[in-house]
Amino acid sequence: MMKLITTEKAVRLIELNNTLVIESDKRDSKEKIKKDFEDMFKVKVESVNTFIRKNKKYAYVKLNKDNPAIDIATKLGMI
């Protein structure tokens, strides 16, 4: 289960760093998040950084330069 985060900071990361912020299952590994994201959106993920806050796991998913994060955000109605 992945849920896209739409805070002001998350939108700024999309524009500046080509990075999407998602909330995922706490038990998911970085590799699983990367694979699921690539399969779901047919894009190439460069890196995944995760952190846990208030018993929820969040992931910064940085996309390859060839795949603009703004395209995915627009497709999902974020922007």
For residue range 4-49, what is the model confidence (pLDDT) as tens digits?
999 999 999 999 999 999 999 999 999 999 999 999 999 999 999 9
Class of domain 2-75: alpha beta
Pairwise CA distance, residues 6 & 40, whole Å: 19
**Per-residue pLDDT, 17:** 95
**Per-residue pLDDT, 77:** 82
Residue 79 has pLDDT above 90, yes or no: no
Q: What is the DSSP string of 41-73?
A: HT--EEEEEEEEETTEEEEEEEEPTTS-HHHHH
**Per-residue pLDDT, 23:** 95
**Per-residue pLDDT, 29:** 95
Amino acid residing at 59: A
Helix (H) or strand (E) holding 20: strand 19-24
